[in-house]
Amino acid sequence: MIYSSELIKGTLKTIVLKLLADNKKMYGYEITQRVKELTLDKIQITEGALYPTLHALEDDGLVTTETEYIGKRVRKYYSLSPSGKTKTKEKVSELADFMETMKFLLDIKTKTV
Amino acid sequence: MIYSSELIKGTLKTIVLKLLADNKKMYGYEITQRVKELTLDKIQITEGALYPTLHALEDDGLVTTETEYIGKRVRKYYSLSPSGKTKTKEKVSELADFMETMKFLLDIKTKTV
DNA sequence: CAAAGATACATCAGATTCTTATGTATTTGA
DNA sequence: TCAAATACATAAGAATCTGATGTATCTTTG
């Protein structure tokens, strides 16, 4: 089972930031594979979604990049900037809070008539 | 604190369906108020988001509607259709599953180097 | 060793879905 | 009486994802 794409919307940025917080530096393709692994294929980030997101994080100054060559093939590593670290904490705790709220919403059985 | 709007994306439809599953019938404005109450103002559904969603649910045959007059003012009640009930269960359990996965993702500290 | 698949980047048209504003109209409360 | 609340709706613009396409290198396998 793969989660419907609408669920990924809104969480992608947070997922990426969190992965970078836990791994110092990662490159795009690695991120897609790591998420796939960690979620047992239930979340598959497409490259069309990931690269624009990474570029946006860079434009916002939340990540810095360094290019590395593996043979002739280029790899672009992303790392959190100081403001990125702060932002990550905010986003992660907001999402955690949101999930608590959603859990509550989804469990309510009380028919308030 | 109000959750950043991106978080709501992708969950709105599920929230609406779940509320309808628990309350037999509700009208649009009521839904916005109920969600606001239940989430202590942390989720505020705008009308511009809600009405198109309700119309989409109707077009998909997941809800049926009945119009009622309160004085001269119209109220449009929404109820789950049989397929809507099935869909709700699917969506809710998918979201619950997704949240488990996200919780796992957000907690990982293991730096796989 | 050729071909397929994996690795690795990127862009873009189109689709979806939300925000914000606007519009109409009635009812309620200070 | 007049602002706020109730109650519907639409629509331009923004944001963000899908799916396709493009380029190029490296690895594996029959």
- Got the DSSP string for A20-63? HHHHSEEEHHHHHHHHHHHTTTS----HHHHHHHHHHHHHTTSE
The closest CB to that of B111, out of A15, A23, A97, belongs to A23
Mean pLDDT score, A70-91: 95
Return the residue of B nearest to A96 by Cα: B103
pLDDT confidence tier of residue A76, bands split at 50, 70 and 90: very high
Sign of the alpha-carbon dihedral angle for A30, A92, A84, A3: positive
CB A96 within 8 A of CB A90: no
The closest CB to that of A109, out of B22, B42, B101, belongs to B22
Helices (H) and strands (E) in chain B — how many of each?
Answer: 5, 3
List pLDDT tens digits, range A18-58. Answer: 999 999 999 999 999 999 999 999 999 999 999 999 999 99
List pLDDT tens digits, range B85-109. Answer: 999 999 999 999 999 999 999 885 5
A1 touches strand D (CB under 7 A): no
3-class DSSP state for residue A12?
A: helix
Record: contact B6-A18, CB cut-off 8 A? no
List pLDDT tens digits, range B34-84. Answer: 999 999 999 999 999 999 999 999 999 999 999 999 999 999 999 999 999
Selected residue of B9, B57, B102 to mutate for chain A interface (largest A Cβ count, 10 A): B102
Nucleotides of C under 7 A from a protein CB: 7-13, 16-22, 25-28
Structural domains in chain A, sorted by start? 5-107 (1.10.10.10)
Q: E-strand spans in chain B?
A: 25-27, 63-70, 73-80
